[in-house]
Chains A and B, each alone.
Chain A
Amino acid sequence: NAGVTQTPKFQVLKTGQSMTLQCAQDMNHEYMSWYRQDPGMGLRLIHYSVGAGITDQGEVPNGYNVSRSTTEDFPLRLLSAAPSQTSVYFCASSSRGIRGNTEAFFGQGTRLTVV
């Protein structure tokens, strides 16, 4: 049981490049989400999904796309990287529980630098 797996762990992009951050979970969780972590700002929600085929925007969605074709995978796509997207990105998953009363499990993170 690997939990939540993110790849890559580190990435350097040039401004304007695109890339996909991968996230996979093996716990059969319904809920998945992407956060970015910036110093002093905690984690902020980018996009989230309540199940396969269903996604929605979080607090800071601009510049990012997501899709959820399977329960296990929730990739995050950067369309045209900008220096403001330099951050640490975390994927999380959780089961639905009762009215969402379950804790989230986080991946190890992807440290992205845009130059």
Chain B
Amino acid sequence: AQSVAQPEDQVNVAEGNPLTVKCTYSVSGNPYLFWYVQYPNRGLQFLLKYITGDNLVKGSYGFEAEFNKSQTSFHLKKPSALVSDSALYFCAVRPPEAAGNKLTFGGGTRVLVKP
């Protein structure tokens, strides 16, 4: 069975500084990897995904993530954080052979960007 770990419950960063949210996964084969963001009292919004190809994936709102197969990681990054980036971030994994949109999520990391 697959699993996703987000080792930090919360990440605090000053506005303008780089932001990193960590994610590691455990799944057989070559998984599909996703990052979602959740703002208060809202549903999840898709940020970016890794399916195949270039290990550096660029997504919405200036976010990017790097797939590292040897370390089974898919860390989310943003070069310069904004106060509006404060939200709950989820990493998710989906084995390619799985039927339907069966995602396994990490526990989430709350990001707080201070002015």
Q: Are B99 and A50 in contact (CB under 8 A)?
A: yes
Q: Are B43 and A90 in contact (CB under 8 A)?
A: yes
Q: Are B108 and A106 in contact (CB under 8 A)?
A: no
Give the one of A31, A43, A44, A105 with max B CB within 10 A.
A43
**CB of B42 to closest CB in A, whole Å:** 6
Q: Are A49 and B43 in contact (CB under 8 A)?
A: no
Q: How far, in angstroms, from A106 to B44 measured CA to CA in the complex? A: 6
How many A residues touch the partner, as a band?
Answer: 20 to 34
Chain B: CB-nearest residue to A107: B43
- Report 20 cross-chain contacts, Cβ distance below 8 Å, ordered by A residue: A31-B100, A33-B102, A35-B103, A42-B6, A42-B107, A43-B92, A43-B105, A45-B104, A48-B100, A49-B100, A50-B99, A50-B100, A90-B43, A92-B103, A100-B32, A100-B96, A100-B98, A104-B103, A106-B36, A108-B43
Restricting to A12-68, which residues have a CB under 8 Å from any CB of B?
31-33, 35, 40-45, 48-50, 56, 58
Besides the contacts A31-B101, A43-B103, A48-B100, what 7 more A-B pairs have beta carbons closer than 8 Å? A33-B102, A33-B103, A41-B107, A45-B103, A49-B100, A90-B44, A100-B100
**CB of B99 to closest CB in A, whole Å:** 5
- Residues of chain A having any CB pair with chain B under 8 Å: 4, 31-33, 35, 40-45, 48-50, 56, 58, 90, 92-94, 99-109
Restricting to B1-58, which residues have a CB under 8 Å from any CB of A?
4, 6, 9, 32, 34, 36, 41-46, 49, 51
Interface size on B, residues (CB 8 A): 30
Known: A103-B34, A105-B46. A58 touches B51 (CB 8 A): no
Q: Are A56 and B44 in contact (CB under 8 A)?
A: no
Contacts of B96 in A (CB 8 A): 99-101
**CB of B91 to closest CB in A, whole Å:** 9
Q: How far, in angstroms, from A45 to B99 measured CA to CA in the complex? A: 13
Q: How far, in angstroms, from A4 to B44 measured CA to CA in the complex? A: 11
Q: Are B4 and A48 in contact (CB under 8 A)?
A: no
**CB of B74 to closest CB in A, whole Å:** 14
Q: How far, in angstroms, from A78 to B92 measured CA to CA in the complex? A: 26
Of B94, B99, B106, which one neighbours A56 at CB under 8 angstroms?
B99
